[in-house]
Structure 1
Amino acid sequence: MKRRHLMTGGAAMLTLGACSAPSKFQRYNGPEVTGIVVNKAERKMFLLNEGRVLEQYDVRLGFAPEGHKEIEGDGRTPEGVYYINRRNPNSRFHLSLGISYPNAEDRAKAAAMGKKPGGDIFIHGQKVPFRRDKGDWTWGCIAIDNKEMEKVYAMVNDGTPIAINP
């Protein structure tokens, strides 16, 4: 009988221990993020409060990082001023923040070429959590590691402007 109680108690402890795993959702109580700047050539992203840098991250970009995204499938990360327009807590890339690409100008340029502009451009984490992705590997998104993405997801609100520079 004692052995059964020991086994049941041990199983309960393991189950409760699993419940206390750290959440990917963090709280942020610091200064508001009023803008994001991504400098593609430097592979850097900055979270700003009224021009003051709050955080800085190394980023990975689209697999063809030179130039502005023009059409679907070109592997480029867009350039220009957009805004954060949605969030995906269940992204295949851990967490993600949507970028408002394409805008009207992007759609018009692609249409003039007889093509689609593409879309679904995000700031996101990694697909494989324990592998440090090297080089540019996304289809046009901006990628950071998962722990960093948890912090960015907590800090950045929908509507935050993002300037993506060459």
Structure 2
Amino acid sequence: MDSNKSNFQKLYAVCKEFREKIDKCVCEHQDLFVNFPHGYCDHICIWAYDYLTSKGYTNIEFRIHDPFLPDRDGSHVWLYWNGFNMDFSCDQFSLEGGKQYASVIVVETKYDKNGYVIRNRYTPEHVTISNRESQVLLEYDPLRVLYAWPNSIKERDIIYKELGIVFEF
């Protein structure tokens, strides 16, 4: 097995495990996580960033725009690590016919010999991938983000307890 496929499989397993833990919290606290995953892309990326960091992943970037859904307007946030784009809230969007996207999508970004982007899909679910350019969010400021929404601190505490993460500034 080549190392990129192995890296993907390990990363995808960690990402799926993370989202399953999030879904468990959401199910147990439905009154707090209203309309989840709609509008939670930034929250879930912060939680995923901290979770992946606790698992030894480093140099994770926050990205903004919409790399996976070519027919959507507005902003969307996801994570990028070592050539892989990771979206943890894509299921807030629907396909034609009302079917939702997968809750976790991991896509590898590669470049051909001329420098053009080639995107390879490794998730088992079908997804159409856009070629839109994204911006890197260089600043991760948990204080600013957490205090922007009234329930953020309660949500974070519940999520981090389930994930086994101690939140420190």
TM range (shorter): under 0.3
Bigger relative CO (Cα 8 Å, ≥ 6 apart): 1
TM (normalized to structure 2)? 0.26
**TM-score (norm. length: structure 1):** 0.26
